[in-house]
Chains A and B, each alone.
Chain A
Amino acid sequence: MTVDTLRLTAEDAMRLVERGEVSSRELWEAYRAAIDERDGELHCYLTLTGEPEGDGVPIALKDVIGTKGVETTAGSKILKGYVPVYDSTVAARVKEAGLPLLGKTNTDEFAMGSSTENSAFGPSHNPWDPTRVPGGSGGGSAAAVAAGLAPWALGSDTGGSIKQPAALCGIVGLRPTYGTVSRYGIVAFASSLDQVGPTTKTVRDCALLYRVIAGRDPMDSTTADAPPVDLPEAEDLKGVRVGVPRELNEAEGIEPGVREAVERAIELCRTLGAEVGETSLPRSVDYGLSCYYLIAPAEASSNLARYDGVRYGLRVTDGGYHGMVERTRDEGFGDEPKRRIMLGAYALSAGYYEAFYGQAQKVRTVIADEHRAAFESFDVLVSPTSPTVAFALGAKAQDPLAMYLSDLLTIPSCMAGLPGLNIPCGLSDGLPVGLQLVGPQFSENTLFRVGHALERALDFDYVPERLR
């Protein structure tokens, strides 16, 4: 049978395999054929795997996810050719679940970016309009799923790197509660913020994949057990209290088309029976970006110190040890990692720690408290995921601060360790708009429930128009 990779959901694919209508191998080959056909234009993949292993629905993994025996570059020249000798926990769980690996997807270097333009190996392209970015840092995974080059994928989110690309590509992305998915084997960017999560076509697919990867890991001290995952069924929102934080929904820079699509989605919540009300996160949006761009680079400056040319990766010799390390890092890192490493080192340095890093850690407490207060009256908070639809390649690449603003709406909940789900909620000028649902810690089931009901009601066609 011909597999419609553009439309097929993972859940449907599972059913087909169960019923014997198609084999796992045939699925894998169908996606490989699609990749051959369309990835030249989109550049979602950095590495394609050889022989598939497993009997389930094939999957793509963002190239920050360590895979034993398969090159893992984190989008960086400094790790070109690096082949891990161990599996990350999520890769191992995916393997255990029998999901064959299609390949590793493109990412901004070390997950630092909002467009995939910081990848050392060239950007990915948005399947809705290839002259535009797919979002980042996990643009490769999102574009692959949207373009039918993978039924589902895993990405990683630090400040919005799963949710924002999902929004720009018109698909579903979950950033889980911090600590519910293991970071062991994930190339670290910011330890207290990084989380691996699913990038899928539907909310139910998202729940299914989250179930595979979630749960405490003895190899990661910062993990906790997640409540068992409920696959969402209900198509109404009766009894759900939906909060609309003023600051997230009226922030400067939100395009009118984005605002309209989100307002319609919020109205739909009412129609579905939810109690919708306004709420406030007084300082979380105002100070979220600055808080994030102090803490994340600080942790990154330390996490990236291991890339020194000694035990793996690129080495550029230049005299003694220190010279070698300095030259290796200068040649191996792109501009964005360099900027963030220096910013981070500055924020932690003697004399500046209290004012910068120390202060940012306190702002973090404020953000967590404000969200906690909002959740006393609401089960879920809604807003746009991204202030804009997909922007043109090159439009923001020269202006780091402009690029950072892409994360304005996703960052605050990340700082508080909260889960966030993106679902596509409409189009603006023919490009997808994403709706962000944020819940308290461990509230994934609520997010799935709300997301699924909205998804059914919205009936958004996730196949990019130009590919139909």
Chain B
Amino acid sequence: MAITREQVEHVARLAHLALTDEELDRFGEQLGAILEAVGKVSELDLTDVEPTSHPLDLVNVWREDEPQPSLPREEALANAPETEDGFFKVPPAVGPEPDL
């Protein structure tokens, strides 16, 4: 099934990938072919089948409300590209803060 350029752009935006024009074309073609192949799943009538989210039948796995040691701040920041005064520094996020 073909995927339009707009759809590729939309999906790239959702996934926060800044694609070049060349990539948009190339991926568009490849994604179209892949979607055609995976679309095969819709051939089956599975109205009465339950979806599987987890391979094992586990339920109620949780932990006690007991504190565990946190990382020392230097380790928390160790791999950070940019920090300032103990904070992670990032360029400003323009645009409304999404709702939680």
Q: A residues bordering B, Cβ < 8 Å?
A: 82-83, 85, 178-179, 192, 218, 221-222, 224, 283, 286-287, 289-291, 293-294, 301, 305, 308-315, 317-327, 329-330, 333, 335, 338-339, 341-343, 345-347, 349, 355-356, 358-366, 368, 400-401, 404, 416-417, 441
Contacts and interface: CB of A to CB of B under 8 A. Distances in A.
24 contacts: A83-B78, A85-B71, A178-B56, A192-B53, A221-B61, A221-B62, A310-B90, A317-B91, A318-B18, A322-B94, A326-B16, A326-B18, A327-B18, A330-B17, A330-B23, A333-B17, A335-B27, A338-B23, A347-B38, A349-B11, A359-B44, A361-B53, A362-B44, A362-B49
A361 B91 contact: no
A359 B42 contact: yes
Interface of B: 3, 7-8, 11-12, 14-20, 23, 27, 30-31, 33-35, 37-44, 46, 49-56, 58, 61-63, 71, 75-76, 78-82, 88, 90-95
B37 A417 contact: no
Contacts of A291: 41
Nearest to B40: A290
B18 A330 contact: yes
Contacts of A323: 18, 91
Q: Is the interface of A mostly helix, strand, loop or mixed?
A: helix
Contact of A342 (B11, B54, B80): B11
B51 A361 contact: yes
A377 B88 CA distance: 58
Contacts of A349: 11, 14
A315 B17 contact: no
B80 A312 contact: yes
Contact of B44 (A85, A313, A319, A363): A363
A106 B17 CA distance: 25
